[in-house]
Structure formats: C-alpha cells, structure tokens
C-alpha cells in the first residue's frame, strides 16, 4: 500500500505546553497523520476545541482532562509532552496499545530499566524518545557526522543559548533557580533533572561509536549578576544567579572521550564570571576529533530576540517537529523501547503546497 493509499496514523497529543502546541501544528501539517485526541492538564482547557488552544480555527477535536478517555481512544500513537514525565502514565499508554513518542526522556534504554521495554513488547507497540537537546543534536547529529571520521577519540556537543527567550518563567525562576542564590542553584534540582537524559545521550554516543563503557561525570557552574538585570522573570539583583552551565563527560581510563554541555545565559552583560556567547553568538556546536576531525555549527534554533522567542521559539518548534516526524517510523517499527540506533533515517515532509 502506498503512502497515499494508507489511512493516516491516528495521533493523540498529551499536554499542550510550548512543545505540545507546536506538535499539534506539526501533526496538522503532516500528510500521514491525523489528530484524533488531546489530553490537557488544566480543567479550563478541557472541553475546548484544540484549534482554539493553539490559536487557530476549530479543527473538530475536543481536549479532555480524562486520562481514561485517552487510554480508551482508538489511536496509533501518543505524543507525550508534559513538563515532567510520569513513568506510570507512559506505561499505561503503552499497555493501552498505543505507540509513544516523547521529548521528555526514554532516549536510550538504561541497563536494568526494562519496565518500559517489557510493557511495549507485551502490548506490541513502540516507545521512542527524541527531541533536540538532549534527544537529537546531542547524539543523533554527531553519530551521523561520525561516519565521515575514522579513529574517533573525542566528541563534544555544546549549546549556547539566551535563557531569556524561554517562555516558561515559573520553570526558569523556581526550577532552574535563575534569580536565586548560587548556593540554592548549585544544590537545586536541575542537575538531577537533566542528568537522566544527557547520560542516555552519552551512552548512545559511546555505544554507536564502539567505545567501551565509561564513567560519566557531571559538572555545574553559575555566574551572578553584577548589576540589576531586567529580565522576563523579573529583576535579578547583583549576586543572584544570571547564568548557568551544566556539563556531562564520559571518561575512559582517565581520558575524556565525550562532553555534552549547555550554557544558558540571561544575556551577556554584567555577569561574574564574564561569560559571553562570543562572536559566534547563540548556537549549537558539534565537534568530532579523529581522522579527519569535524567541527559543525548549527544555527536557527534560537530566536533573534527574547521577545520573538516568547511568541514562537524555533528550538521548541524543532523539538516538536522531531517528535512528529518520528511517528510514521515508530508506528511501523518492531515493538519495544527503540532509539535512533534501532530506527531508519527519519525525515520531515514537504510543505503542503507541494502536495
């Protein structure tokens, strides 16, 4: 059966935050997908047409906050994108006979964590974690580029972003702890929340490149404001956290073979230490050391200004697109918890005007 003859895959969106809304837009534009359901966290969104929630005309799909209704729905795949993941929810979705694609974890099966694999295999469906950072640029991109390099000795992937563009002020203030004390940020939850995903990325990189098992070290640093900073989360006073860096390094016999890092700054002015993006500006960097070495700069996923990022953040949209683009491939894959190493090349689709 050709793609034009095959019925579209029936898709449910779980949660309608930034990624969720962008994913709905992606589903509506994808020629092989049909949105048939939407779960929302807040009661004020329940009962409303999904088109209203994303700022378009009605599309004929009503949002619900009833999890049992979603579990009972006839659907091929759930795009699971809450702020924080709940393994019990994911397992229930899998056991209801639905494939799950998510940007909030499960990028690479961890040793001894076979609960989700077992649930997927027993239900005959697939779980796939994807996204951008982690979940794409941190492992998929360097693995693809590595095919051009022999005798790889080191991989570095690093993000440089202005956190003022991220339209989630409560997360930035109360979870990331920007605007707090250095002591609070250094002992806060972010390193733990991030480490699960980035550790999976490093393990996938090492396995894909044929490295042996490695020790993974974490590192965190902060910079503080030297003058009052007027930011989207309010005034950050001198001495309060205005930039953070998180890094994960894989070490084999004392040698660092992989480094993943994120650098999140509230702009570049009035910081101590005086961190800055430099002449290259906001970007992602992918560096592979070998024969020959490769250095790639990726742009386009950071908005030109903080204000534009609050309206539509390209990084959020790219994350959602990666999730949406994966759906046809995941629906056709064998059952289980599958990573990029298990799936074929995933591609986007042409603009509807070419169809």
Answer whether 265's CB lies under 8 Å from 163's CB: yes
Domain that holds residue 202: 140-300
**Interval 93-146: pLDDT, tens:** 999 999 999 999 999 987 777 889 999 999 999 999 999 999 899 999 999 999
Looking at residue 111, its pLDDT comes to 73
* Within-domain flag for 281: yes
Q: Mean pLDDT over residues 314-331, rounded?
A: 98
* Within-domain flag for 310: no
Q: With 60 as the cut, is the pLDDT of residue 16 above it?
A: yes
* Within-domain flag for 309: no
User: Can you tell me the distance from the alpha carbon of 249 to that of 214, in angstroms, rounded to the nearest whole number?
Assistant: 9
DSSP one-letter string for 185-242: HHTSSHHHHHHHHHHHHHHHHHHHHT----EEEEEEEEEEESS-EEETTEEEPTTSEE
Phi and psi angles of residue 73, each rounded to the nearest 5 degrees, phi first = -70, 145
Number of domains in the chain: 2
**Interval 259-299: pLDDT, tens:** 999 999 999 999 999 999 999 999 999 999 999 999 999 99
Q: With 90 as the cut, is the pLDDT of residue 41 above it?
A: yes
On whether both 151 and 38 belong to a single domain, the answer is no
**CATH number for the domain including 114?**
3.40.50.720
CB atoms within 10 A of CB 141: 17
On whether both 284 and 159 belong to a single domain, the answer is yes
Looking at residue 100, its pLDDT comes to 98
- CA 271, 224, 172, 89 dihedral sign is positive
**Interval 182-235: pLDDT, tens:** 999 999 999 999 999 999 999 999 999 999 999 999 999 999 999 999 999 999
Q: With 70 as the cut, is the pLDDT of residue 2 above it?
A: no
* Within-domain flag for 126: yes
* 3 state DSSP class of 166: coil
Q: b/e map of 274-301 (b: 16 or more CB within 10 Å)?
A: ebebeeeebbbbbbbbbeeebeeeeeeb
Confidence of residue 9 (pLDDT cuts 50, 70, 90): very high
On whether both 237 and 344 belong to a single domain, the answer is no
Phi and psi angles of residue 191, each rounded to the nearest 5 degrees, phi first = -60, -35
**Interval 74-92: pLDDT, tens:** 999 999 999 889 999 999 9
Q: With 70 as the cut, is the pLDDT of residue 20 above it?
A: yes
Both tokens assigned to 298: 């990726």
């Amino acid at each position: 059966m050709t793609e034009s003859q095959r019925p579209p895959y029936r898709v449910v969106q779980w949660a309608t935050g930034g990624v969720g809304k962008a994913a709905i837009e992606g589903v509506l534009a994808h020629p092989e997908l049909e949105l048939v359901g939407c779960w929302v966290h807040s009661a004020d969104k329940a009962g409303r047409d999904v088109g209203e929630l994303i700022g378009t005309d009605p599309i004929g799909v009503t949002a619900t906050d009833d999890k049992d209704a979603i579990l009972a729905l006839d659907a091929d795949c759930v795009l699971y994108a809450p702020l924080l993941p709940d393994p019990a929810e994911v397992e229930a979705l899998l056991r209801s006979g639905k494939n799950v694609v998510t940007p909030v974890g499960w990028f690479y099966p961890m040793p001894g964590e076979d609960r989700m694999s077992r649930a997927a295999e027993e239900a005959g469906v697939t779980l796939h974690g994807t996204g951008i950072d982690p979940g794409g640029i941190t492992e998929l991109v360097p693995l693809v580029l590595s095919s051009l390099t022999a005798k790889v000795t080191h991989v570095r992937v690093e993000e440089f972003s202005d956190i003022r563009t991220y339209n989630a002020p409560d997360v930035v203030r109360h979870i990331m702890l920007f605007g707090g004390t250095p002591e609070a940020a250094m002992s806060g939850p972010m390193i733990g929340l991030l480490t699960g995903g980035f550790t999976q990325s490093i393990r996938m990189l090492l396995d894909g490149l044929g490295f042996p098992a490695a020790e993974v070290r974490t590192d965190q640093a902060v910079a503080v404001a030297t003058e009052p900073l007027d930011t989207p989360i309010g005034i950050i006073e001198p001495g309060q956290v205005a930039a953070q860096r998180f890094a994960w390094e894989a070490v084999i016999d004392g040698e660092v073979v992989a480094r993943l890092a994120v650098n999140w700054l509230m702009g570049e002015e009035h910081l101590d230490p005086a961190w800055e993006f430099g002449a290259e500006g906001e970007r992602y960097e992918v560096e592979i050391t070998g024969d020959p070495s490769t250095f790639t700069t990726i742009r386009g996923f950071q908005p030109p200004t903080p204000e534009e990022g609050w309206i539509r953040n390209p990084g959020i949209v790219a994350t959602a697109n990666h999730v949406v683009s994966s759906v046809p491939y995941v629906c056709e894959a064998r059952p289980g918890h599958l990573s990029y190493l298990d799936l074929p090349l995933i591609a986007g689709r042409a603009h509807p005007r070419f169809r």
